[in-house]
A and B are shown apart, each in its own frame.
Chain A
């Protein structure tokens, strides 16, 4: 998240992916880092016995949302 803030300060748009369990914390951090409008993509945390996150599946599922986020303002749910 700090990386995202630093990149945004340099004019590079970002999307920060966060688990839903950390959604509230993410917004508090964004505010405290002076960037309350930082763009988030909130993903459900893995449930049950699945402790793994398949990054490829996550990327394929959300690529459209990421592109939308990089070209708009606000949060994409």
Chain B
């Protein structure tokens, strides 16, 4: 075990239940049980990382907590991560510290978005991340504990506490743990990290994106029928795209992705098609009651975005895109081939939470 000295104080406790009660009392968990971060478990992580425990990884908003290697290791141990999973957590946190992710806002917004971590590269298979059936649910230690570690870091170091700094009006279960792998082996397309960062399939990366839990859409049939259903289903007025554009993610089961590929759609062609066809109709917005004369400049499409159209001057027949450009639509192959499902993950809007891709740096590689 590490010979490095830890700063965090040790406590003598009788059993797991004493630990759990202490963790609740001290506010170290959001309610779910957490593993005791013993000196042995934390030391094993630090030994694996081969990093100074007091090295600073970043400053976590809104509390401006200092995320040292030791603090991150403690939260990873509490989440139940193996040491080999911790570089994935560190890459996720570093990606969330990029300005376009706007972590302070993501932590504090009234929107129920949560930071999603998507894992690409050989490490996904090596560590048992799931990108196939049930990948957004439980069943994979890697998915759940990496997602959980990110949550605990944002909770304990960042101070994203509901009702205090996290003002999410209804919240969401994705905040508890939100991590998935891309289904690389069944994807017909360029993988997410290849497309976004020019990386190779042999490189490991995470992509983080602040979004809501997947809203399941059933899209049976050939590519034309799938696209027609998407064009009718995606532009609903209640999601934040209607309010303020931003970005959204479609998690396509491999069955759907392969059908679209057979129909001749590359990822780029698919994004273009969706941007051109999955649009809000101004007349329908008025009929639905979401667009009210005199309010559109404050509350409806394009709020906070440059070059947003003035909805009050557009005819009822006008069609308004959900997001600013086709590049603001993210396509992920996630899920198996058991049925025709797509997960629609609405983003936070133009305020931030934008997707960021970051390489996973393994110990000794930097």
Report which A residues bind B (CB closer than 8 A). 2, 21-22, 24-25, 28-29, 32-33, 51-52
Contacts and interface: CB of A to CB of B under 8 A. Distances in A.
Interface stretch (B32-40, B130-138, B159-167, B313-321): B159-167
A51 B64 CA distance: 32
Given A24-B164, A25-B165, A32 B295 contact: no
A22 B63 contact: no
A47 to B, nearest CB: 15
A52 B299 CA distance: 9
A32 B164 contact: no
A32 B64 contact: yes
A72 B167 CA distance: 30
B173 interface: no
26 contacts: A2-B104, A21-B167, A22-B167, A24-B163, A24-B164, A25-B108, A25-B164, A25-B165, A25-B167, A28-B62, A28-B63, A28-B159, A28-B164, A28-B165, A29-B62, A29-B108, A29-B165, A32-B61, A32-B62, A32-B63, A32-B64, A32-B159, A33-B64, A51-B295, A51-B299, A52-B298
Contacts of B165: 25, 28-29
A21 B163 CA distance: 9
Contacts of A33: 64
A28 B61 CA distance: 12
Contacts of A24: 163-164
Given A25-B165, A32-B63, 17 more contacts: A2-B104, A24-B163, A25-B164, A25-B167, A28-B62, A28-B63, A28-B159, A29-B62, A29-B108, A29-B165, A32-B62, A32-B64, A32-B159, A51-B295, A51-B299, A52-B295, A52-B298
